[in-house]
Amino acid sequence: MENEKCEEILAGSYREANEVVLKGTSQFMMKSSNGGRIYQIFVYQPKGAEPPEGYPVIYVLDANSVFGTIVEAMRLQSRRPEKTGIVPAVIVGIGYPVEGAFSDARYYDFTLPVDFSELPKRPDGGTWPEHGGAENFLHFIEEDLKPEIMNSIKVNRDRQSLLGHSLGGLFTLYTLFSKPHAFQTYIAGSPSIHWNKKWFHEEENPFLERLKMDNRRISLFVGVGEFEKRHKSGMNENALELSERLRSSVKSGLYVKFKEFEEENHVSVLPPLINKGLRFALSANSPVME
């Protein structure tokens, strides 16, 4: 049958259209135990035998838009880890049951409670969707999603990463500050710190003091696009200031790296951010492995 199909293709008389499916991936719906919110979960698992210590795992926010990008980047580069430095990893994408790349539900999941009067103006002049559910969303990741993943895949609990962009970057920083050892590596792209800048200032010193007492290694990568300097929120300035303050803390056990990607904007920064984030989290000389 396959030979006949090949002959038809060569003769120009055969055409078959099928959806392209990412190899090694699966998806399922999951309901949170504290609020009944519905998420679409995307999972990539490398082929072959699981490492004795388990696979590193990267949890990715806004999976409807970036899951394919990070899976393909990791899959291709991890084929030759001796050359690329990137080892195979499990990718867990957290998205929503929508057709488009984003859902307004992210405004609730990724943000802290704040009065509407303190929020920045929405570009279209409208009202911001419901917000302030970051604590509940982190509970879902820790208490619902992680156990589900660990029950089905052998993962290395000491090499877990969280990657988020924009409001997802805000949530990534919130998780670092509020529950720092939930992950060992944090990758915050273009974080919307301006949504709750006051909270980070208030929590910064208590957070650093807790790290000094814990004596465990955590790494943070913050990346922004050069052209985001034009954003009236002060996106780049806020990210750089926070990175420098955290980096200057003595004996906190926190390794911080900041990068401004040349000639990239708020959206185009995603591919280089993902590539850099993969090396930061998965290479043999990753800060968390030192």
pLDDT more than 70, % of the chain: 90
Number of domains into which the chain is organized: 1
201 is catalytic: no
Check residues 212 and 144 and name the one with the higher pLDDT: 144
d(CA 218, CA 286): 11
User: What burial class does residue 140 get, using C-beta atoms within 10 Å of its C-beta: 0-12 exposed, 13-18 middle, 19+ buried?
Assistant: buried
d(CA 69, CA 93): 11
Contact 79, 119 (CB under 8 A): no
Considering the domain boundaries, does residue 7 fall inside one?
A: no
User: Which of the four pLDDT bands, split at 50, 70 and 90, describes residue 29?
Assistant: very high
Check residues 284 and 139 and name the one with the higher pLDDT: 139
Residue 175: pLDDT over 50: yes
Residue 126: pLDDT over 80: no
**74-88, 228-242, 244-258: range with highest mean pLDDT:** 228-242
Mean of the pLDDT values across residues 105-111?
93
Check residues 103 and 160 and name the one with the higher pLDDT: 160
Predicted pLDDT at 218? 93
* Alpha-carbon distances, residue 153 vs 50, 67, 109, 146 (angstroms): 9, 18, 26, 10
266 is catalytic: yes
Long-range contacts, 240-244 (Cβ 8 Å, 24+): 242/173, 242/193, 242/200
Q: Which of 32, 65, 103, 166 is catalytic?
A: 166
Among 11-15, 66-70, 214-218, the least confident range: 11-15
Considering the domain boundaries, does residue 90 fall inside one?
A: yes
Predicted pLDDT at 260? 97
Residue 187: pLDDT over 90: yes
User: Which of the four pLDDT bands, split at 50, 70 and 90, describes residue 290?
Assistant: very low
Q: Which of 78, 260, 266, 283 is catalytic?
A: 266
Q: Which residue has the tokens 């210590």?
A: 53
Considering the domain boundaries, does residue 16 fall inside one?
A: no
User: Which of the four pLDDT bands, split at 50, 70 and 90, describes residue 195?
Assistant: confident
Structure tokens at 222: 């913050």
Mean of the pLDDT values across residues 114-142?
82
Predicted pLDDT at 73? 94
Residue 183: pLDDT over 90: yes
Give the list of residues 6+ apart from residue 73 with CB closer than 8 angstroms, or none. Answer: 271, 274, 275, 278
Among 67-76, 80-89, 252-261, the least confident range: 80-89
The mean predicted confidence, pLDDT, of the chain is: 88
Predicted pLDDT at 223? 97
Q: Which of 65, 161, 165, 228 is catalytic?
A: 228
Mean of the pLDDT values across residues 96-125?
82
Query: Distance of alpha carbon 134 from its chain centroid, rounded?
Result: 15
Considering the domain boundaries, does residue 13 fall inside one?
A: no
Predicted pLDDT at 72? 94
Q: What is the DSSP string of the chain?
A: -HHHHHHHHHTT----------TTEEEEEEE-TTT--EEEEEEE--SSPPPTT-EEEEEEESHHHHHHHHHHHHHHHTTSHHHH-BPP-EEEEEE-S-SSS--THHHHHT-----GGGSPPPTTS-PPPS---HHHHHHIIIIIIHHHHHHHS-EEEEEEEEEEETHHHHHHHHHHHHSGGG-SEEEEES--GGGSHHHHHHHHHHHHHHHHHH---EEEEEEEEGGGGG-TT-HHHHHHHHHHHHHT-TT--EEEEEEEETT--TTTTHHHHHHHHHHHHHBTT-GGG-
Considering the domain boundaries, does residue 182 fall inside one?
A: yes
Structure tokens at 50: 């699981």
Q: What is the CATH number of the domain that holds 201?
A: 3.40.50.1820
Q: Which residue has the tokens 């820790």?
A: 142
Considering the domain boundaries, does residue 1 fall inside one?
A: no
Considering the domain boundaries, does residue 15 fall inside one?
A: no
Q: Which of 131, 129, 126, 127 is CA-nearest to residue 114?
A: 131
Domain around 218:
24-289
Q: Is the pTM of this model over 0.85?
A: yes
Considering the domain boundaries, does residue 9 fall inside one?
A: no
268 is catalytic: no
